Amino acid sequence: MSAFKTLDDLGDDLGDVAGKVALVRVDLNLPMQDGVVTDETRIRAALPTINDLTAKGAKVLLLAHFGRPKGERNSQMSLSMVVGAVEKVLGKEVMFVPEIAGDVVAQAVGILKSGDVAILENTRFWKGEEKNDPELAKAIAANGDFYVNDAFSAAHRAHATTEGLAHVLPAYAGRSMQAELEALDKALGSPEKPVAALVGGAKVSSKLDVLTHLVKQVDHLMIGGGMANTFLAAKGVDVGKSLCEHDLVDTANAILAAADESGCTVHLPYEVVVSKEFAANPASLRTCNVHEVAADEMILDAGPLAVEALADALKTCRTLVWNGPLGAFEMEPFDAGTVALARTAAALTIEGTLTSVAGGGDTVAALNHAGVAKDFSYISTAGGAFLEWMEGKELPGVAALSA
Ligand code: ADP
Ligand code: MG
């Protein structure tokens, strides 16, 4: 692991940080439903860094993105919506600043006292964020004394607040970033074989690339969720109305061929839970073979027999890396597959035969829902960054801290 500075180095570098302004990149891309934060894991992950800095007397300006506003202001994606949830977890008042640079931020800094915390607006409202515009980084940096990156989950992106700021201010890894890198290195630096990777969820196109690399590194690739539908379609299965990216079937087939070549066993569900409506406990609920999905049905979970087959494969493995739920776990009974497999993985971990590492916003929420998050060897709050780390890619946000 490359060397990076942590909050322990602040004193040596900058002397007393009391009254100094910390620009802290955190992950506040929180799962929300009807304007209410449904899982606080990511806020809690930022607490050690925020508390460390406020205890040292710094003024803490939190930088984060929320959703994909594509470089424009969008009131539906304002970070003002998460202020209440952050205040609750932090146990103190938090100021909201509707800008990320300029006079408005400078005025806010003037009002904040040592140890106070403010949340700046969604960084992705500005086009320069995702373009990693050095001018934007400089403008943000003008209101701060040093930069802390505590958002491992965004470290696979070279954006102004995840990478650019590290080049214009003294830069440090936050506590969560530090813990994440240390734990992942410990769990997966040289994983015990056989290794299983379970990849599910909904972001098919963004995860296909990762699968291409994973098949060369793992012994078992378990594909679930919406991901599985694209692969089933590639194999000629009619997936009906299921979430499926039909234009990616060629890529899916190439991945299956690459897996074959590297001796990686690919597991796809052969039995599925389907429904005509995307709703909890629908009248049209049924379990069937993948070849029996009707044109007006959607696959929303792996069936119990398919999950049992995955559990059996898992029992032969020593390491599991998991990103993405097996089904639409937010709605009963489509949580059943994810919950059952999560409990098997947790039991094997407790028995000591399996090292289990899981990452991803929804994955963590699903494991919390199954009541087994605490039994996993390590839980990462990151999704994409977690997967790219697994691929062995250098994450730009981490590399910039080490430069
Ligand atoms: P993570 O946040 O852990 O990286 P994703 O965001 O990729 O995971 O995927 C989580 C989402 O995938 C959940 O909202 C879940 O409902 C959805 N999902 C899983 N399986 C299916 C399916 N078969 N059809 C539709 N959505 C699904
Ligand atoms: Mg997600």
Q: Is 361 a catalytic residue?
A: yes
The predicted pLDDT at position 393 comes to: 81
- What dihedral angle (degrees, nearest 10) is formed by the CA atoms of 144, 145, 147, 148? -110
**Ligand 1 pocket mutation, candidates 204, 243, 369, criterion most atoms within 8 A of CB:** 243
The predicted pLDDT at position 21 comes to: 98
Q: Is 384 a catalytic residue?
A: yes
pTM, rounded to two decimals: 0.78
Of 203, 303, 324, 359, which residue is the catalytic one?
Answer: 203
Q: Which helix (H) or strand (E) holds 357?
A: strand 355-359
- Cβ(217)–Cβ(237) under 8 Å? no
The predicted pLDDT at position 331 comes to: 97
Ligand nearest to the Cα of 359, by number:
1
Of 144, 174, 201, 384, which residue is the catalytic one?
Answer: 384
Q: Which residue type does 382 have?
A: A
- Annotated binding-site residue? 68: yes
The predicted pLDDT at position 273 comes to: 98
Ligand nearest to the Cα of 337, by number:
1
Superfamily of domain 7-175: Phosphoglycerate kinase, N-terminal domain (3.40.50.1260)
Name the closest-CA residue to atom 4, ligand 1: 360
3-class secondary structure, 159: coil
The predicted pLDDT at position 339 comes to: 98
Among candidates 79, 40, 58, which has minimal Cα distance to 172? 58
Distance CA 3, CA 367 (A): 32
Inter-helix orientation angle 336-351/361-370, to 10°: 80
| Ligand 2: centre distance to CA 42 (Å) | 13
Class level of CATH domain 191-390? alpha beta
The predicted pLDDT at position 209 comes to: 80
The ranges assigned to domains in the chain are 7-175, 191-390
Q: Is the dihedral of CA 321, 324, 325, 329 positive or negative?
A: positive
**How do the pLDDT tens digits run along the chain, 403 residues long?**
558 999 999 999 999 999 999 999 999 999 899 889 998 988 999 999 999 999 999 999 999 999 999 999 999 999 999 999 999 999 999 999 999 999 999 999 999 999 999 999 999 999 999 999 999 999 999 999 999 999 999 999 999 999 999 999 999 999 999 998 888 887 777 889 999 999 999 878 888 888 988 899 899 999 999 999 999 999 999 999 999 999 999 999 999 999 999 999 999 999 999 999 999 999 999 999 999 999 999 999 999 999 999 999 999 999 999 999 999 999 999 999 999 999 999 999 999 999 999 998 899 999 999 999 999 999 887 878 888 887 778 899 999 998 7
Q: Do domains 7-175 and 191-390 have the same CATH topology?
A: yes
Distance CA 294, CA 275 (A): 9
| Ligand 1: centre distance to CA 172 (Å) | 33
- Annotated binding-site residue? 369: no
- Annotated binding-site residue? 42: yes
Among candidates 25, 50, 20, which has minimal Cα distance to 165? 25
The predicted pLDDT at position 27 comes to: 95
The predicted pLDDT at position 210 comes to: 84
Among candidates 383, 266, 271, which has minimal Cα distance to 327? 271
Backbone dihedral angles phi then psi of residue 212, each to the nearest 5 degrees: -55, -40
Ligand 1 atom closest to 278 (CA): 25
Ligand 1 atom closest to 383 (CA): 4
- Which residues have CB under 6 Å of ligand 1? 200-203, 225-226, 243, 299-300, 323-325, 327-330, 360-363, 383
The predicted pLDDT at position 182 comes to: 85
The predicted pLDDT at position 206 comes to: 80
